[in-house]
């Protein structure tokens, strides 16, 4: 059966509605969707099965991680999980393409419930206003960790003011395709050269080389893109 035309069980709709509500709350409050991540137990109690959750994640409609928040933290924090790992304490959040697919599902009133309204995101079919890759990185400023698709890309153990300024700006803006140079100007320092050095530093020593940062030749903007490991 074609995955893009897969019927969705009626019992699954309540769980999807809960996940979509959490995603919408994050968008409305201009927060990282992980701040509204839903516990696995809550999703299962609403009618989903573990097979449903695995399908959401492997299809790219949701991401899963284990919460690492401790009392006193300013925001919720998470550690990504392997695609095959589904422990009982995992949390879920929809991806942008997953939210769009579920929203379209609930808008359909005549046809049987199917997630056939949104095609897989490719270079030829990008999410409007986003890079072709629909998954967004997560910059955890509290733990100084950059993650993508549940994997740790980079961890900062020493001061890196300029790199962190770039990551803070991307996270605040929701990881658009590019941002303007966010590093404050300093007397006697060429901002274009400094930004170029910062971009090279962001790409250097990645634990999992899944993100590439680059400029556009003007020295005024920073772009990001997802890459295959080892490419």
Model confidence pLDDT, tens digit, residues 10-49: 888 889 999 999 999 988 888 889 999 999 999 999 889 9
Residues 6+ apart with CB under 8 A from 17: 46, 102, 106
Q: With a threshold of 0.85, does the pTM exceed it? A: no
Order of all β-strands in the sheet with 145-148: 138-140, 145-148, 151-155
* Torsion over CA: 149, 150, 154, 156 (sign): positive
Helix-helix angle 161-173:191-203, to 10 degrees? 80
pLDDT band at 5 (very low <50, low <70, confident <90, very high): low
pLDDT at residue 100 in the model: 87
Phi, psi values for residue 155, rounded to 5°? -130, 130
Model confidence pLDDT, tens digit, residues 145-204: 999 887 889 999 988 999 999 999 998 888 888 999 999 888 888 999 999 999 999 999
Structure-block tokens of residue 209: 């080389």
Residue 142 has pLDDT above 90, yes or no: no
Q: How far apart are CA 156 and CA 164, in angstroms?
A: 9
The better pLDDT of the pair 109, 84 is held by 84
Mean predicted confidence (pLDDT) in 96-125? 60
Model confidence pLDDT, tens digit, residues 204-225: 999 999 999 999 888 889 999 9
C-alpha dihedral over 174, 149, 206, 218, to 10 degrees?
-40
């Amino acid at each position: 059966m074609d995955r893009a035309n897969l019927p969705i069980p009626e019992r699954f709709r309540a769980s999807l509605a809960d996940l979509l509500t959490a995603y919408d709350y994050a968008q409305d409050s201009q927060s990282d969707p992980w701040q509204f991540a839903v516990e696995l137990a809550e999703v299962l109690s609403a009618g989903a099965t573990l097979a449903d959750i695995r399908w959401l994640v492997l299809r790219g409609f949701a991401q899963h991680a284990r919460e690492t928040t401790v009392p006193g933290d300013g925001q919720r924090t998470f550690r990504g999980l392997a695609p095959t790992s589904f422990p009982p304490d995992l949390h879920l959040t929809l991806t942008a393409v997953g939210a769009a697919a579920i929203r379209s599902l609930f808008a359909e009133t005549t046809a049987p419930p199917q997630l056939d309204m949104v095609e897989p995101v490719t270079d030829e079919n990008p999410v409007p206003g986003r890079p072709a890759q629909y998954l967004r990185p997560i910059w955890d400023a509290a733990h100084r960790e950059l993650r993508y698709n549940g994997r740790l890309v980079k961890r900062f153990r020493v001061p890196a003011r300029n790199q962190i300024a770039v990551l803070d700006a991307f996270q605040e803006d929701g990881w658009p395709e590019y941002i303007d140079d966010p590093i404050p100007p300093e007397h006697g320092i060429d901002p274009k050269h400094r930004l170029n050095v910062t971009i090279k530093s962001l790409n250097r020593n990645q634990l999992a080389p899944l993100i590439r940062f680059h400029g556009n030749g003007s020295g005024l903007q920073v772009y990001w893109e997802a890459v295959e490991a080892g490419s």
